[in-house]
């Protein structure tokens, strides 16, 4: 291995270690209390050294969110692709969301950071902007599910996929933004998950067409 290759590997390993410890601190303190000085202390680095890897807290948090969203997409796409109808696909998407939320993995903490970001992936940019962004992939995934449901008649014919996609993301991220800002000891994932389940069931039944037995739309 050449010197250049070794330096690249060392840089990547350092960034991975920084991201791992950053998420641990967010778990412990909540998003608002997390800062770069605490992270530098945890890693036994100077703050200047830390900023060589990430220019700002916002850049670090944005990368955490992007990585976590990519992980979620990889886990949910196979389940969605097996869905025979659009309403079934939407139900599976909510179930995957709830399953991941109950584990409080980094996806939801990272997504909950959005309100604190000076840079990142705003929703309006994701819907109309860079198709390679992680949030744009989520937008496309939901939009495809809705289009499937309109085509097979399991979703109400009056819905507009772009608007409904935006609404669903706003609801989901709005909840987790609040949760992510709490210290770990103040979070009760079981209660939060139950409340979210009730909300998502109401939305699911509201989007379903009259051809669907809405009494069976449980999460």
For residue 160, which phi and psi values (nearest 5 degrees)? -110, 110
Residues of the domain holding 71: 57-216
DSSP single-letter state for residue 116 = G
As a whole number, mean pLDDT of residues 6-28 equals 86
Could you give the CA distance from residue 213 to residue 203 in angstroms, rounded to a whole number? 14
Residues 31 and 119 in one domain: no
Residues 9 and 80 in one domain: no
**Domain at 148, CATH number:** 1.10.357.10
58-113 pLDDT, tens digit each: 889 888 877 877 888 888 888 888 888 999 999 999 888 888 776 655 556 656 65
Q: Which two tokens stand for residue 54?
A: 């990430």
What is the three-class DSSP state of 155? strand
Residues 48 and 145 in one domain: no
123-165 pLDDT, tens digit each: 555 555 455 577 788 888 999 999 999 999 999 999 999 999 9
Give the count of domains, the chain: 2
Residues 70 and 10 in one domain: no
Residues 74 and 22 in one domain: no
């Amino acid at each position: 291995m050449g010197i250049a290759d070794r330096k690249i590997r060392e840089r990547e390993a350092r960034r991975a270690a920084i991201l791992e410890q950053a998420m641990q601190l967010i778990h412990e303190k909540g998003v608002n209390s997390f800062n770069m000085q605490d992270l530098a202390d945890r890693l036994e680095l100077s703050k200047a050294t830390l900023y060589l890897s990430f220019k700002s807290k916002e850049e670090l948090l944005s990368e955490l969110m992007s990585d976590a969203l990519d992980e979620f997409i990889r886990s949910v796409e196979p389940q969605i692709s097996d869905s025979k109808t659009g309403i079934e696909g939407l139900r599976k998407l909510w179930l995957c969301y709830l399953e991941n939320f109950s584990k409080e993995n980094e996806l939801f903490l990272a997504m909950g950071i959005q309100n604190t970001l000076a840079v990142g992936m705003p929703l309006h940019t994701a819907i109309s902007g860079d198709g390679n962004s992680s949030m744009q992939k989520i937008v496309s995934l939901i939009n495809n599910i809705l289009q499937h449901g309109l085509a097979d008649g399991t979703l109400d014919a009056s819905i507009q996929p772009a608007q409904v996609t935006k609404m669903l993301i706003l609801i989901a991220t709005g909840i987790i933004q609040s949760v992510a800002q709490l210290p770990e000891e103040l979070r009760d994932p079981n209660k939060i998950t139950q409340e979210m389940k009730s909300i998502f069931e109401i939305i699911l039944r509201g989007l379903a067409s009259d051809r669907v037995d809405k009494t069976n739309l449980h999460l």
